[in-house]
Amino acid sequence: MKVEFAPLSIPLERRLQTASVVHWVFSFLGLGKIYFNVSLEKSAIQAPYRGRKSLRPTLQMGKRRILGWMDLWSDPLVKTAELDPSKNYVVGFHPHGVLVAGAFLNFCTEATGFSQLFPGLTPHMMMLTLWFRVPFFRDYLLSGGLVPSDKDSASYVLRRWGGGNVLVIAVGGAQEALDARPGAFTLLLKNRKGFVRLAMEHGAPLVPVFSFGENELFDQVDNPKGSWLRRTQHRLQQIMGISLPLFHARGVFQYSFGLLPYRRPIFTVVGKPIKVEKKHNPSQEEVDRLHQTYIEELCKLFEAHKTKYNVPEDRHLEFI
Residue 59 has pLDDT above 90, yes or no: no
pLDDT tens per residue across span 119-161: 999 999 999 887 787 777 778 788 778 999 999 999 999 998 8
Query: Residue 201: in which H helix or E strand, if any?
Result: helix 194-202
The pair phi, psi for residue 16, each rounded to 5°, is: -65, -35
pTM of the model: 0.87
The pLDDT of residue 31: 59
| Contact in structure between 271 and 203 (CB atoms under 8 Å) | no
pLDDT tens per residue across span 167-188: 999 999 989 999 999 999 999 9
Domain ranges of the chain: 12-40+64-308
Residue 40 has pLDDT above 60, yes or no: no
Residue 320 has pLDDT above 90, yes or no: yes
**219-220 vs 122-127, strand pairing mode:** unpaired
Q: 3-state DSSP call for residue 219? A: strand
For residue 29, with 0-12 CB atoms within 10 Å meaning exposed, 13-18 middle and 19 or more buried, which class applies? exposed
Quickly list H helices, 8-100: 12-26, 32-41, 43-46
CA 239 remoteness from chain centre:
22
What are the beta bridge partners of residue 256? Answer: none
**39 or 92, which is more confident:** 92
> How high does pLDDT run on average in the chain?
86
The pLDDT of residue 199: 98
Rounded Cα–Cα distance for residues 257 and 195 (Å) = 37
